Amino acid sequence: MAKPSKVSAVAEITEQFRGSSAAVITEYRGLSMAQLTTLRRALGTGATYTVSKNTLVKRAAQDAGVEGIEALLIGPTAIAFIAGEPVDAAKTLRDFAKDNKALVIKGGYMDGRSLSVDEVTRIADLDSREVLLAKLAGAMKGNLSKAAGLFAAPASQVARLAQALADKRAAEGSSDAAPAADAAEPAES
């Protein structure tokens, strides 16, 4: 019979798997408690960093329907369950691992499939959602400005053409009026 503490731990990890948009599996061997606390703070409120026994994580993953991470659960394992934006948490873990060589990213899980270390790194290299939305808005604004210019171009061309025609008529009218005035003066003498 399973101990109640292990049953509740498995249930908690299962809920974390179900409630998270992604999970990054790491090895934390050699990190101090102060470093783990720093990492948890750096991850912020959008992610939780949980240290658990591999057998409990395997059971919880099975209960949650998470497949393909069994090979990653070797050695001391900690999982970052990401409830918010996966890009931000992946960047935090990648940057922390660069500064602290004891943290090793093993892989992850997102959108119903397991992720390799390279895939986690590629996610970390992406711009955040806010930056991507700002880029999209800028591109759309640029295209709208171009469209407004194209729609305004025919009207401005017609206006320039009308002005050029009026200038030409005025020039022809003044040149026609000047010889008529010259012709009228000798007739009066």
What is the structure's pLDDT at 5?
84
Is residue 1 very low, low, confident or very high in pLDDT (cuts 50, 70, 90)? Answer: low
∠ CA(113), CA(95), CA(71), 5° rounding? Answer: 30
Q: Dump the DSSP string for 5-28.
A: HHHHHHHHHHHHHHH-SEEEEEE-
**Is the pLDDT confidence value at 85 over 60?**
yes
CATH no., domain 4-126? 3.30.70.1730
30: CB partners within 8 A, 6+ apart: 102
**Is the pLDDT confidence value at 189 over 50?**
no
Per-residue tokens: 181: 């005035």
The residues spanned by each domain of the chain are 4-126, 129-189
Predicted TM-score (pTM) of the model is: 0.65
What is the structure's pLDDT at 176?
60
**Is the pLDDT confidence value at 96 over 50?**
yes
How many Cα atoms occupy the beta-carbon half-sphere of 12 within 13 Å? 13
SS3 74: coil
What's the mean pLDDT in 44-71?
88
59: CB partners within 8 A, 6+ apart: 10
More reliable by pLDDT, 168 or 178: 168
129-161 pLDDT, tens per residue? 777 788 888 877 777 777 777 777 777 777 788
**Is the pLDDT confidence value at 179 over 70?**
no
Query: Alpha carbon of 60 to those of 5, 18, 66: distances in Å?
Result: 14, 10, 8
13: CB partners within 8 A, 6+ apart: 50, 52, 56, 57, 60, 61, 79
List alpha helices for 28-83, DSSP H: 33-43, 54-64
**Is the pLDDT confidence value at 24 over 60?**
yes
What's the mean pLDDT in 23-46?
89
Listed residue (27, 39, 20) closest to 117, CA to CA: 27
More reliable by pLDDT, 32 or 183: 32
Give the dihedral of Cα atoms 14, 15, 18, 19; nearest 10 deg. Answer: -150
**Is the pLDDT confidence value at 88 over 60?**
yes
Is residue 177 very low, low, confident or very high in pLDDT (cuts 50, 70, 90)? Answer: low
Is residue 175 very low, low, confident or very high in pLDDT (cuts 50, 70, 90)? Answer: low
SS3 80: strand
64-76 pLDDT, tens per residue? 888 888 888 888 8
